[in-house]
Structure 1
Amino acid sequence: MKKKVVFLLVLLLLAGMALFFFFSHQLVTWLWYRSLNALPQFWVPLLTKLGIRLGLGLFCFVFLFLNLRQTKRAFLELQTEVKFTPQQHFMFSAVTAFVLTLFLLPGAAPDWTVVQQYLHRTAFGVTDPIFQLDLGFYLFVYPFYQRLIVTLLGLIILTLLGVTLFYVVAQAYWYQDRKFQFWPRARIHLTILGVLFFLLKAADYFLSRCGLLFEEKPLLTGVDYTTHHIRIFGYNIMVLIAVLTALLLLLTLFKQRRHRLLIGSLGLWLCSLLLFLLVLPPLVETVLVKPNQFIMEEPYLEHHLRFTRFGFGLDRIEVKPYTLVPEADPSVLDPNHPSLANLRIWDWRPLLPAYNQLQSFRSYYTFHDIDLDRYPTPRGQKQVMIAARELDPTKIDQNWLNRHLVYTHGYGLAMNAVNQANNVGQPLFLVKDIPPVVDGSLPALELAHPQIYFGEGQDSYAIVRTREKEFDYPATGGENVTTTYQGRDGISLRRWLSRLLMAVELGDRNLILSGYIREESKILLYRNIKERVAKLAPFLIFDDDPYLVIADNRLFWMIDAYTVSRHLPYAAKHANGYNYIRNAVKVVVDAYHGTVDFYVVDPADPIIQTWQKVFPRMFKAFTAMPAALQEHIRYPEALFTVQQEMLLSFHLTDAKAFYEKEDFWSLPTQIYAHREEILEPYYVTLVLPGETQEEFLLMRPFTPRGKQNMIAWLVARCDPPNYGQLILYQLPKGTNTFGPMQIEARIGQHPEITELITLWSQSQSQLIRGNLLVIPIGGTILYAEPFYIQSNQAQMPEFKKVVLVWQDQVVIADNIEAALRRLKEEKGNALLTPVPTPAGETPAPETATPSPEAKAPALPADELFWANLERKLREAEDKFQEAKEKLQEIQELIEEAKKRTPGLN
């Protein structure tokens, strides 16, 4: 008796441990969601998944089990070599049904997000042009029905296979009079399953018609002429054929010549399938459509253009002309002009190593990324580059105490002005050092909590409020400053059970054994901000570029979140696989407390409206965002890139022009460092044409496909209340405006710049040509490109020069102010100052080519321009010849030195 009790206790203990390990992950996850006051985000997915798996799984298991149990009589009544008792048949049927259910559900069951969107779907208020169904049907209802039908078809097929196998084992078939015979009960059973299969296929064919609206073809996405008139008709016929086949199968139960009826019904289905879905469509396409393709496809191309533009928000773009001024006014080239006061000379790529060498101070600090933003100052808005100083756990001693209790956070940030460098070409920092030192022009940037517990690089847990003080930052005197976390985040480790749960979840026994943990201790989980927000909202797509914001004396991370779909009718898909995208949400994460807030910035988006129904307490209105944070929202570069890539062809709204591809665009290229690459979108501060106030904008130009001249530029407004507005400025088609690569060529051919490039290339350093910026100003285009020099040893680029190109002038100078001054001087010399000629010389006739030696009181502007151009070319040739002679002299001296010094190479 005692042995039985001991055995039972051991069994219960093992079962309890198995259950504990099984549920420990869910318990830890529940504790984490509760610490963020976000329990609905835990319960809704969990209960929906359980409902799907238990509900659908139970249905599939019962269906399979009951069908398999129907084969019991075959084993009892037929003469079979395999004998099953009723109990054995029951167990074998149950096990088989269970295994088949486990095989079916993982790949076929609908995802919890699909179910929740179906249950809380929202209408778009726009219908498709073929079936006149609201677009919400395709985004929310169609995916649910599709997965459901796939699951049920899979269930019927597995049931047919399982039941047939059981009847074969029971030998419920035989040959008689040269005919294959089935046991009557088996024949009835399999026939009913076949009827169910064809009824489900009828539903599948009916639903598949809707899937044709986002089927990709060479010419367009969606329904074309052949699909509209043949394939949809074919699917309608196949619905009827599938129902008819089901009825014919049912009739075989009552007819004597059932074999012919069975073969005839299956043959009718297969022949119809081949004819209407495989043979007729390509035949009609070849014979009727291709010879008259545009005439046949025009209305469908119009649908394709309309819905693609809607899916990517291109229909919201306002198109305006950008009129170029024939006589440019040099007065716009004022360093204090609002469009030039923040002209950027720094790129993030050369700036990042400078940050890490000048502002990391210790090997365990690092800057992961540099972002662009703007901050108000008494003298107006200042554009800056900003980066968080985060902890690099790989650079500290790898022991448990250091990794999780002592080195728990990064500290502060670095910030520099985009348009300034110091005397040695390094960034001019507005916020720097540890503790942070803030420039006097930005008094609002003082920080109450410069510690960064949640960031881009925090990938491990931290335990705070322990008996061991946390390292805060290195002091100048040599002794480190320590701190204790006072934030709101964290799961209490007061109870022994909590420590056990964490130890099991994280696989770390120190959480149980360590004596540093006390009652006040807390553990911080999911400290990487991308992982953190994805766990709270897995139904959103998050931007890969979070950026740091200082607001109300605190540090925040701002992350853009997108709602997406692949099921918008007629819309072409981007390379990322989606054909509908909206930047519906801005996510704000407190770098110290770890709190996460979701603000809806596109309340008209039906997808985010649907998720607001699912999680009514999760989302906040944009108006609820603090004003200090609203000042720092910006249009996401990732979305802007997607929209520009789609706009290359879908800026066209005329079907004929789209069909002939007569006006497709390309993204411009530039020279960065020494290679050609795509010009990335860039943030600038500009005064838009027709506006009086400067704005923070995101922009990038376009070039015609196969050409390098600039044809248009797209701008996204970032400042409230105009946030999200897109404007496409189109340049006159009858004039040539230099594109980025044409400007790069002009820069590379300029004598002064070429000479400097040659000189720099001969030293122990390399030249890095920075991002080319295209700046519309005063009816003209100004181009700016910074030059950096990087030593082969230091690997820290330094700003060296800036090149400005405006109209016919190309200048290079030490800074923006000097370059603008040179532009104004050269423009004034070229257009306003007559060319002096020696006394007594006869001026050339007006029709002759102007000569620098000719004396003319006032030549026309065009002739004066060409005269000055010829003069400058001659001066350049003289200087080049002089330099060539000097180089020859130097070469002769070197050869003489080699002769006089044996062994000199």
Structure 2
Amino acid sequence: MDGAGAHPRKLFRRWSVNVKKHPDDESPDKEPTGSTPAGSPGADGTGHPEGGPDGAPTGVPADDPAGEETGPDRFRAARRFWTDPVGRPDGPQEDGSGRSAGLGRGAAASQAGGSSRNGREDSHREDKPREGLSAARSAEEFLSAADELFAGLSGRRPAAAEGAGERPAAGRAQQARPARGSGQPPRKGSGSVARGEQSPRLPGPLVMTISILAVAATVLAFFADTWTEVLWFNQIGFARVLWTRWGTMSVLFLVGLVVTAASVGTAMVLARRARMEDPTDVSSRNLAAYREMVDPLWRLFSWGAPLLLGTLAALWELVPHWSKVLLALHAHEFGTTDPQFGLDISFYIFHLPLLRLLLGYLTRTVLLAGVVSVALHYLYGGISLTRSPHVTRQARLHLTVLLALYSLLRGASYWLGRYEALASSNAKFDGAAYTDVNAVLPALAILAAIAVVIAVLFLYSLRTESWRLPVIGVVVSVASALVVGWAYPAVVQQFVVEPNAQAEEAPYIQRNIDATLAAYGLGDVEKQAYDARTTVEAGQLKEDAESTTSIRLLDPNVVAPTFQQLQQQKQYYSFTSSMNVDRYDIGGSSRDTIVAVRELNLDGLDAQQQTWVNTRTVYTHGFGVVTAHGNTATSDGSPSFWEGGIPSRGDLGEYEPRIYFGRQSPSYSIVGGSDGALNELDYPDDASNGQVNTSFAGDGGPDVGNLWNKLLYAIKFREVNILFSGQVNAGSQILYDRDPATRVAKVAPWLTLDANPYPAVVDHDDDASTPKRVVWVVDGYTTSNEYPYSQHESLAEAVTDSTGGTTLLRAPAQANYVRNSVKAVVDAYNGAVKLYQWDEQDPLVKAWQEVFPGTVSPMSEMSADLMAHMRYPEDLFKVQRDVLARYHVTDAAEFYSGGDFWKVPDDPTKDGDSPQSPYYLTLQMPGQERASFSLSSVYIIGGNTDRNVLTGFLAVDSETATGEKGKRAPGYGRLRLLELPRSSNVAGPGQVQNKFNTDPVASPVLTLIGQQGSQVIKGNLLTLPVGGGLLYVQPVYVQSSGDTHFPLLRKVLVLFGDKVGFADTLSEALDKVFGGDSGATTGEQVVDGNAGAANDTSKPPTDPAGGGDSTAAPQPSSEPQATVDPSTPAGTAPAPGGSGDPQADLDKALQDAKTAMTDSEAALKAGDWAKYGEAQKRLNDALNRALEADGRLNG
């Protein structure tokens, strides 16, 4: 092949085969190859030093690939080509006398025939590589160099300069080439830069400036976020929590960094010290180039890699688990032992998680050090993987120690696995089953012993210098793991357990039942057989007056739009989508109450009003609490408010109404100030300026009066106005993290929290002379997933129901122990947080009290009024009812069969499969002395069946009031379960809803209402154990389908046995079921006291901020309305004014109803409540006439 036509990269590959070997690679007496002394026949002095016109080296044919070296060999050859002038085609050639016969690349001028410059001979240059190109140069750069070399040998242009005319390559001096067309001579002293290469560029000033600013901004933002956290915790009084947590995390970080960095760094140093000075095998020689890359950077590499790996390991492995360390250091005993090993439960809850964490961390650290050691030993020749693999003595010693450590840690892991088996998950139940106890636990002990023996064998091999015994041990370990750890348990399960599963598993199922009931607080459930009757008789509910009086007709998940329309007052206020249920003492008796807080809603402001000054310094807080009786409604179906309006009026008495901290509060507000200016809008008023202003007077947030804090918070919230606004002065405070659950989560990071706190107006200090306060109550839970033999539950799934569920904050994915250990109270005015110990027996809360001393107050400090508003947490009850659906079965054999498992029914009023929500109401359970505020739910048959038959009724006593400070009612938390006979056919919620929907009396009326432009909404379906059976009650709401719509209570549905009652009021519906006189007392009487003032929702003044009239609609007329009597018998005389033709009367009535509905909607939009009331009367009259005509027509 013609060398001039060959690609330069190919020729470079061929040339590199015979290029002169470096003196270090050959003995001095061996004649170098690949070069021809000056004056030999092969040297013509024309730029082809090897004699070949194509520049191909003699000694190897141009097309003969024989003798080609490997990539690393060519790498070294190319390096010597650029760093050693001797033996290079264009460098000085040695003659027999050792003189150079040509000019090197670095000569100042070239002369033909190899004569010396200015009559002097060039001195022989040392046979030592120059410091030229770095050993880290990429392969692409060397191939470019080969391209240029070929150009010098063949007289053609390099590939990189095709078409860009340049000087001939032959006889080039080692100097920098001038730019094409510059006319400047080459610059001396730059000959080490090959053509086609560019000197590395330093970043320009702009890039450097931007980089410095970016780093500075990142550091400043991190510092601002960190220091503002310190300010926040100092202000709220929980600085100990922050510093304890940060201190523990810092210690763990340092420990992780030091241990990992020391382990990896030591492994690297030992591996490099054990390197071979002159590797002889081909594999090691091939890695020489990579060693040359590593050696110049060894110091950086040997420090940087361990520190980087240590940092990552500490941040990933240890720092996030600070709580496990603190718990283990402050462990408290449970006083209960596990049934297998006899250890206190505290070992599993407190110590086992820490042991698992440390063992996993150390194991991964040893593995990491081992991987690094193997890699470096391979790089430096200590390990060879050629045809005859071998390991040097030093490498063997190093790796032997690491393998021994790993074996010991593996043995510890096997041993620890014996205890972890007690909380493992199985198909039917959690915990160690028959196979686990009789096969897996012994197998783990055997494997642990084998691992220790293997570690000893590895250490013994240090003396024998042979891995024969350890390798045998490893093989035995693997075989044992397969036989003892896998095959043997499988055989036991298949041939011992499966044929006799019920009998063999019974003792372990009983362990699971007992542990599960204890871990979820279900050990003292009071079970009662309840043979519910289905027959009815007059006066049947006379003995259940306390329960029937408190039947709640207002559904807190339905009436939110009604509260919004009737009590919003201004467009910048709003209520949450779901109300809360509490009880208050009104007139000497406890009444179930729907409670809502009027919070600030900045989205209600016009776009022009949403300036920074308005949204951050003027509109800062909500105002007031709105309450309504749960068991009553006004005559037109609207809630019977007994506290409401602005300013607040009603029976609550004097309280602080300003809501600076709530569930819908803005992200931050700046309040207060030293200048005494009243910059904040307090509430709208009829005064000349249309509003009353105020200024925050509490201590609710960090100070932003000084320039430094302004700067920090301007950075934190990315808002420059904080720094320059005149509204921010010496006495200003910044309020943020204002959601009650968020505040509690920050000060108590060890709690799982209910994300749906409820409000209460309480006398927090038991001093009647001071105003009451609005507080938020947040339930806090201590949880664990380590309780031995207890069943694991998904808390997130358990608390999700038809209302949308509540999201638990910081809930574990799985848990098998839960306690409502803390009640947190957040002041709605100043955001102060106080934690009360609610469960005085929980070892977990005791441990956390020692970790953060002084942060949790004893229950004895809780005021009597605050105690009266505590309640049993709904989320805990949801978890317990899910567990009890299976674990009401306490017989192991029956539990194994699963034939009596229950499930929570789906909500029949909602679409889709979503469990029915439990409900708060005051009721008296069978056998209970008196009614109490309770939380209840029902069960239906479990399994894969659509049969909706009631099987159980669960209720928990939620009453806490005693009238004494710090003393809780003795019955609080008592769980009662009514178990219906298995042969019972009492309808479940699904069947009951179907009966309501198909009732011949109720269905036509509700269908007719829905056809007249209104929407029928069915409220919560309540179940009550009264009258010796089970009573179902469901409120029915109607709302307009127009733009302005809100639900009003119009009808009530009742079922007992097979009898359905449908009427305007609960009393009437009950009487229809129980023969005209149920004997019940209901709460639908007219409310006395200040209810009239609370229901006074006259039109508020114009919004002073320019928002116009409030969007809240006034209270509809409360005048009595005609009711629809669906029980009018068929065939009766036509209504007065009728034509006598039933069909004509029906058509006329329906037309009148449609007209009345249209007029009603128009009056509602116009705010004309007189016309609205009149239209509603006409609508009811038309409906009555339609039903009467329909009865005559079908009679």
| TM-score (normalizing by structure 1) | 0.87
Where 1:826 maps in the other structure, the secondary structure is coil
1:491-506 equivalence runs, <5 A? 491-506=702-717
* Counterpart among 719, 736, 754 of residue 959 in structure 2: 719
Where 1:107 maps in the other structure, the secondary structure is helix
* Counterpart among 406, 410, 419 of residue 622 in structure 2: 410
Relative to its length, the structure with more helix (as a share) is 1
Match of 1:819 in 2: 1069
| 2:874 paired with 1:637 | yes
Match of 2:884 in 1: 647
Match of 1:313 in 2: 521
Q: Do 1:809 and 1:826's aligned partners in 2 also have CA atoms closer than 8 Å?
A: no
Worse-matched range after superposition: 534-543 or 771-780: 771-780
Where 2:1076 maps in the other structure, the secondary structure is helix
* Counterpart among 665, 668, 675 of residue 461 in structure 1: 668
Match of 2:471 in 1: 263
Q: CA deviation at 1:349?
A: 2.4
Q: Deviations over 1:398-457 (max 9, x none)?
A: 32111211111111121111122222211111111111121xxx3xx1243201000011
Q: CA deviation at 1:238?
A: 0.7
Match of 2:602 in 1: 393
Structure 1: distance between partners of 2:1142 and 2:941:
43
Letter in 2 for 1:601: W
* Counterpart among 77, 102, 106 of residue 311 in structure 2: 102
Structure 1: distance between partners of 2:366 and 2:1146:
89
1:459–1:147: structure 2 CA closer, same or farther, 3 Å change rule?
A: farther
Worse-matched range after superposition: 104-113 or 235-244: 104-113
1:691–1:629: structure 2 CA closer, same or farther, 3 Å change rule?
A: same
Q: Deviations over 1:163-199 (max 9, x none)?
A: 11122221223479x6422221111011101111111
1:189–1:591: structure 2 CA closer, same or farther, 3 Å change rule?
A: same
Q: CA deviation at 1:668?
A: 2.8
* Counterpart among 213, 224, 236 of residue 24 in structure 1: 224
Match of 1:437 in 2: 649
Structure 2: distance between partners of 1:298 and 1:673:
40
Match of 2:898 in 1: 661
1:689-838 equivalence runs, <5 A? 689-705=926-942, 706=945, 707-720=947-960, 721=969, 722-733=971-982, 735-793=984-1042, 794-826=1044-1076
Letter in 2 for 1:425: G
1:503–1:175: structure 2 CA closer, same or farther, 3 Å change rule?
A: closer
Where 1:350 maps in the other structure, the secondary structure is coil
Q: Deviations over 1:299-328 (max 9, x none)?
A: 111111111111211212122234556886
Q: Do 1:75 and 1:83's aligned partners in 2 also have CA atoms closer than 8 Å?
A: no
Structure 2: distance between partners of 1:645 and 1:104:
39
| 2:356 paired with 1:356 | no
Match of 1:288 in 2: 496
Structure 1: distance between partners of 2:1011 and 2:225:
61
Q: Deviations over 1:597-624 (max 9, x none)?
A: 1111111111111111112201112221
Worse-matched range after superposition: 270-279 or 66-75: 66-75
* Counterpart among 242, 254, 262 of residue 42 in structure 1: 242
Match of 2:391 in 1: 182
Structure 2: distance between partners of 1:101 and 1:398:
49
Letter in 1 for 2:730: E
Match of 1:858 in 2: none
Letter in 1 for 2:354: F
Q: Deviations over 1:273-294 (max 9, x none)?
A: 2222222222221122111111
Letter in 2 for 1:536: V
Structure 1: distance between partners of 2:543 and 2:663:
36
Structure 2: distance between partners of 1:335 and 1:554:
38
Worse-matched range after superposition: 788-797 or 550-559: 788-797
Structure 1: distance between partners of 2:910 and 2:218:
59
Q: Do 2:1070 and 2:1078's aligned partners in 1 also have CA atoms closer than 8 Å?
A: no
Gaps of at least 5 residues in structure 2 are 1-209, 280-284, 764-771, 796-813, 961-968, 1080-1125, 1150-1195
Structure 1: distance between partners of 2:1053 and 2:903:
25
1:228–1:335: structure 2 CA closer, same or farther, 3 Å change rule?
A: closer
Match of 1:850 in 2: none
Where 1:574 maps in the other structure, the secondary structure is coil
Structure 1: distance between partners of 2:218 and 2:1077:
83
| TM-score (normalizing by structure 2) | 0.66
1:834-853 equivalence runs, <5 A? none
Q: Which has the larger radius of gyration?
A: 2
Worse-matched range after superposition: 466-475 or 670-679: 670-679
Aligned residues: 834
Q: Do 1:105 and 1:151's aligned partners in 2 also have CA atoms closer than 8 Å?
A: no
Q: Do 2:267 and 2:370's aligned partners in 1 also have CA atoms closer than 8 Å?
A: no
1:18–1:664: structure 2 CA closer, same or farther, 3 Å change rule?
A: closer
Q: Do 1:345 and 1:786's aligned partners in 2 also have CA atoms closer than 8 Å?
A: yes
Q: Deviations over 1:555-598 (max 9, x none)?
A: 01011111111111111111231111111111111100211111
Worse-matched range after superposition: 39-48 or 334-343: 334-343
Structure 2: distance between partners of 1:653 and 1:323:
21
Q: CA deviation at 1:336?
A: 9.4
Q: CA deviation at 1:695?
A: 1.0
Match of 1:331 in 2: 539
Letter in 2 for 1:166: L
Letter in 1 for 2:390: Q
Letter in 2 for 1:544: A
Q: Do 2:259 and 2:310's aligned partners in 1 also have CA atoms closer than 8 Å?
A: no
Q: Deviations over 1:336-367 (max 9, x none)?
A: 92212221111122201111111112222110
1:889–1:229: structure 2 CA closer, same or farther, 3 Å change rule?
A: same
Match of 1:839 in 2: none
Q: Do 2:503 and 2:893's aligned partners in 1 also have CA atoms closer than 8 Å?
A: no
Q: CA deviation at 1:889?
A: 6.5
| 2:792 paired with 1:592 | no
| 2:450 paired with 1:241 | yes
Q: Do 2:1001 and 2:1127's aligned partners in 1 also have CA atoms closer than 8 Å?
A: no
Where 1:652 maps in the other structure, the secondary structure is coil
Letter in 2 for 1:523: I
Q: Do 1:78 and 1:172's aligned partners in 2 also have CA atoms closer than 8 Å?
A: no
Relative to its length, the structure with more strand (as a share) is 1
Match of 1:137 in 2: 347
Q: Do 1:199 and 1:243's aligned partners in 2 also have CA atoms closer than 8 Å?
A: yes
1:788–1:171: structure 2 CA closer, same or farther, 3 Å change rule?
A: same
1:493–1:891: structure 2 CA closer, same or farther, 3 Å change rule?
A: closer
Q: Do 2:786 and 2:816's aligned partners in 1 also have CA atoms closer than 8 Å?
A: yes
Structure 2: distance between partners of 1:773 and 1:175:
77
Structure 1: distance between partners of 2:1146 and 2:645:
49
Q: CA deviation at 1:524?
A: 1.3
1:572–1:272: structure 2 CA closer, same or farther, 3 Å change rule?
A: same
Identity %: 30
Q: Do 1:72 and 1:89's aligned partners in 2 also have CA atoms closer than 8 Å?
A: no
Q: CA RMSD in A?
A: 3.1
Worse-matched range after superposition: 554-563 or 503-512: 503-512
Q: CA deviation at 1:75?
A: 4.5
Q: Deviations over 1:868-905 (max 9, x none)?
A: xxxxx99978799x99x9776689999xxxxxxxxxxx
1:531-550 equivalence runs, <5 A? 531-550=742-761
Where 1:271 maps in the other structure, the secondary structure is helix
Structure 2: distance between partners of 1:245 and 1:676:
55
Where 1:337 maps in the other structure, the secondary structure is helix
1:64–1:346: structure 2 CA closer, same or farther, 3 Å change rule?
A: same
1:349–1:325: structure 2 CA closer, same or farther, 3 Å change rule?
A: closer
Match of 2:131 in 1: none
